[in-house]
Amino acid sequence: MWKGFKEFILRGSVVDLAVGVLVGGAFGTVVSALVKDLFTPFISAIFKQPDFSSLSFTIHGSQFLWGDFLNALISFLIVAVVICFFVMLPINALTKKMHKGLEAAATTKQCPECLSKIPVGAHRCAFCTAELAQKK
């Protein structure tokens, strides 16, 4: 039982997931601090409001903290922008560069008669039995 547990824990995907969760948590803390300490005061200086978290309204004794929601929305947008421009775009460009020229040759083609997928080297369609012209 211990051996199975040890193999499970030491799998690459489990370790990668654990590292990802830890890095994600730390990244979330940094972004929250960035929003709270830099962006919120900057935006509040424009709108003359020192802290968005104090913005609220009350209806029938229920308090709606829309300022906290605004802070969370700003945090989400900043995280989305950072992930898009500093993670996804570079990774996609790197992946595209690495796979450039590695496209595999097609192994199937389309029958001109019945539009079924057939092997590239086929002389006759297996579905409609149409004779296929061979490229020379």
Domain boundaries, the chain: 2-99, 104-136
Other Cβ atoms less than 10 A from the Cβ of 43: the count is 15
Pick the CATH number of 2-99 from 1.10.1200.120, 3.40.50.1100, 3.40.50.300, 3.40.50.620: 1.10.1200.120
DSSP state of 8: H
**How far apart are the C-alpha atoms of 18 and 101, rounded to whole Å?**
34
pTM for this prediction: 0.48
Q: What is the phi/psi pair of residue 127, to 5°?
A: -95, -45
Residue 39 reports pLDDT greater than 60? yes
Query: What percentage of the chain has pLDDT greater than the value 90?
Result: 10
